[in-house]
Structure 1
Amino acid sequence: MHLVKSMAYVGDQPWHGLGNRLPPKQSLDVWAKAAGMDWHIEEAEVRFVASGSRDLSSIHTFPDQKVLYRSDTKAPLSVVSARYQVVQPSEILDFYKDLTEVGGFELETAGVLKEGRKLWALARTGQSGTLKDRDQVNGYLLLATACDGTLATTAQFTSVRVVCNNTLAIALDNNVGAVKVPHRSQFNAQAVKRQLGIAVSSWDAFMVRTKALAERKVSDTTAEAFFRRVLTYSTTSTADRDAIAVNERAVKAVGELYAGRGKGATLASAAGTAWGLVNAITEHVDHHRRARSDDHRRDAAWFGAGAALKQQAWDEAMKLVA
């Protein structure tokens, strides 16, 4: 089953083979229609009929919460706190209006996940860098939100390695690569962009670090130790409640990607380097990690456990070039 309800894209076909292909530089109205984002989130109070009651006119209300539903299909999306601040599909696309018109950004994908409970758009920033052996990395800005309590509205600078389409969030020491607005607060697009403004310079800092990783040669022993530090999980051992176990299956799979099976693994920038270590993890998370479907894997790679795993790999790699 696909999590992707609908989406639009420019350029190459996305990971799941779905979506409406658009020519470059389309209006946001065209994007909204093609991406299935041309509707809005409605609100209604929660009402219920008490169990055992035969009188349907005896309907009670619950003022502390409200129901969110789609304006087009009337399908329910979630039940949330009455104080919950909704972010509309149009706000996700409008966020990019000035960025695409005067900032040199270009929308590449936008769409709806989980019947409308999660919404996202991804734009290329125009920033790019090249490592040894023409290993190109491009900069993107992801904006995503959810209306079911699973995700704060998140604006995140992201890099995409062209040769393998691996994604890696750009979160440096001060974490200016991401701005998160909880749903108890009003989403202010301009305020978010002002906060991200300081992160535009973070691209240069990110590329300096990726180049350092590409120059850092590592031994097979170091590589094995790296993967074993990153690929762990908590156990429920009765002997030690906080025990950490190594995911041996993942260590083997990632080791094979690193050793040459991964896309771009044999490039001079990646072969036997710390950059290769990071990309073995990111390729595993983005394309191979066990998941109920490709869509669930991508959802985790952007927003969930997969994203955390990639960040851990980045942090461990930074220790190798410290």
Structure 2
Amino acid sequence: MPHEINQMVYAGKEPWHGLGTELPANADYDSIVQAAGFYTAVERDVFAPPMESSIPDKKAIVREDNGAYLATVNRGYEVIQFEDVARTLVEAAGGVRCIFHTAGTLGRNGVRGWLLGELPGDIQVRSDKSPIKKYVLGYCGHDGSTAITLKNVATRVVCQNTIGVALGERDGAEWNIIHTTSARVRLEEAGRAFRRLVQGYERFAALSDHRAMTRFSEHQLRNVLDVVLPLPQDRAEHPRLEKARNKVVQLFHAGTGIEGPIENTAWAALQAVSVVARRNRSSGVRRTRSG
């Protein structure tokens, strides 16, 4: 199963792996749900021979369409359908026309699923030539361990790897909901909060413009690094951490797109820190607390 993809659909540019079905520009919600493979998950009793009655504290989760096994979970586990998460995401966009960008199922029998929406109107920070895409991600699984997630991200999700990158982003807001008996209520609450976040993109754009006009020195940047990438107060050497800190400084001065009026600004510092933080998460470098 290449890239963990079971079934997927996309709009616009073909994903780098060349998989999935392209959506027509006028695709409706029901068409997207069907093309993405969003099946209904149902509960079944679990039996252990030679017992004739079901195991009281366990149940199985299977696909309703083909009976494929997904997971065995505790009785307190509440099934939340992929379509429920996708619909919450759509409703969170409210009156804003959200473009369905990618959606699909991942893993054995499509045990995990996602939907990525793109909000119209890229954010164009003052003097920065690179527009910021406004993606909103809904993700969940029927494997007994994957929480329901609603999150705004900057990564275009097209496979399990890019799901990992998107979930690792720390710049946006995120709601994680475990599959307990209160999951449906909490999903509704998260949806309302997420709608306020969507409406708050305007404020984010204004703050980003402000950062792009705020002068920032290397000395200030190193003070920031002492908080986000601190060096432990010990006698050991920490070459990977030192390399990461030096890379931030390098990108601050000469990173891709850091040129002209946004040089030596708080926006340049934010971009440099964000790039290195994402790389460190993917390579296993973790933030270390000093003291």
Q: Same fold (TM over 0.5)?
A: yes
Task: Give the alignment partner of residue 224 of structure 2, picking from 223, 226, 247.
Answer: 226
Q: Does 1:86 align with 2:79?
A: yes
- Equivalent residue, structure 2, for 1:43: 43
CA distance in 2, matches of 1:202, 1:125: 12
What secondary structure is seen at the aligned counterpart in 2 of 1:31? helix
Quote the RMSD (CA, aligned, Å).
4.1
1:276 aligned residue (268, 274, 281): 268
**Structure 1: distance between partners of 2:46 and 2:176:** 28
Once structures 1 and 2 are overlaid, which stretch shifts more, 80-89 or 203-212? 203-212
**Within-5 A mapping of 1:99-178:** 103-115=96-108, 116-133=110-127, 134-159=129-154, 171=172, 177-178=173-174
- Structure 2 residues without counterparts, runs of 5 or longer: 157-161
Which residue number in structure 1 is paired with residue 179 of structure 2?
A: 183
Task: List per-residue Cα deviations over 1:170-222 (Å, max 9, x = no partner).
Answer: 65xxxxx4444432124256554333343344222222322232223322343
Whole-angstrom CA distance in 2 between matches of 1:58 and 1:117:
28
CA, structure 1 residues 278+34, in 2 after alignment: closer, same or farther (shift >3 Å)? farther
C-alpha contact (below 8 Å) 1:156/1:170 kept by paired residues? no
In structure 2, distance between residues paired with 1:234 and 1:70 = 49
> Quick one: structure 1 residues 284 and 15, their matched pair in 2 at CA, closer, same or farther if it must change by over 3 Å?
farther
Partner SS, residue 62 of structure 1: coil
Q: How far apart in 2 are the matches of 1:234 and 1:26?
A: 53
Aligned residues: 272
Matched ranges for 1:232-271 at <5 A: 247-262=241-256, 264-266=257-259, 268-269=261-262, 271=263
Question: CA 1:15–1:289 in 2, change beyond 3 Å: closer, same or farther?
Answer: farther
Counterpart amino acid of 1:44?
R
Alpha carbons of 1:73 and 1:93: their partners in 2 closer, same or farther (altered >3 Å)? same
Question: Which fold has the larger relative contact order, with Cα–Cα distance below 8 Å and residues 6 or more apart in sequence?
Answer: 2
Q: Which moved more, 1:129-138 or 1:244-253?
A: 244-253
Q: 1:66 and 2:59 equivalent? A: yes
How far apart, in 1, do the equivalents of 2:241 and 2:141 lie?
Answer: 31
CA contact (8 A) 2:60 2:71 kept: yes
Q: Contact 1:41 / 1:70 at 8 angstroms: preserved in 2? A: yes
Structure 1 residue 60 displacement after superposition: 6.7
Runs of 4+ residues deviating >6 angstroms:
none
Q: Which moved more, 1:132-141 or 1:105-114?
A: 132-141
Gaps of 5+ in 1: 50-56, 172-176, 292-304, 310-322
Residue type of the partner of 2:271? N
- Relative to the length of structure 2, the TM-score reads 0.72
Normalised by the length of structure 1, the TM-score is 0.66
Distance 1:78 1:285 in 2: 34
Identity over the aligned pairs, expressed in percent?
A: 23
Residue pair 1:107, 1:124 contacting (<8 A) in 2 also: yes
Conserved 8 A contact 1:144-1:154: yes
State the 1:86 CA deviation. Answer: 0.9
The aligned counterpart of 2:12 is 11
Q: 1:170 to 1:197 in 2, by over 3 A?
A: farther
Would the aligned equivalents of 2:92 and 2:192 in 1 still touch at CA under 8 Å?
no
